[in-house]
Amino acid sequence: MDFILTDHAKKRLAQRKIRVEWVSAALENPLTTEVDHNDPELMHALLYVPERFKTLRVIYKDTTKPPYIVTAYFEEAKSYEA
C-alpha cells in the first residue's frame, strides 16, 4: 500500500524502531481501525507485532490519497474486537 510518512512520523519510527513494513501491514490488514477522538480526518490502524509482543498503533490522515502517516507507536497488546 502506498502512503506518505510525514517528517514527524519518520523521526518517531526511527526513534521507536518501528519498521516501515509494519506500518504498511497495519494499513493493509489491521486488527481494527478507529476514528480519532479529536480529529475525524484521522484514523488509527492497529496491528499486533509478534516480534515485539505489542500492538502497533498507526495514526494516519485518511482523507488524502495516498494516506499521510502522522505517527506510530507501540502499546501493550490487548484484545480488540473487529
* pLDDT tens profile 3-62: 999 999 999 999 999 999 999 999 999 999 999 999 999 999 999 999 999 999 999 998
Q: What are the angstrom distances between the C-alpha of 25 and each of 13, 38, 40, 57, 69? A: 14, 25, 22, 11, 13
Q: Residue 79: what pLDDT? A: 63
Q: Residue 80: what pLDDT? A: 61
Ranges assigned E (strand) in the chain: 4-5, 32-35, 42-49, 54-61, 68-76
The domain spans of the chain are 4-76
Mean pLDDT for 70-74 is 98
Asked if pLDDT for residue 69 goes beyond 90, the answer is yes
pTM reported for the whole predicted model: 0.91
Residue 24: strand, helix, or coil? helix
Please give the helix or strand (H or E) that residue 63 lies within, else none.
Answer: none
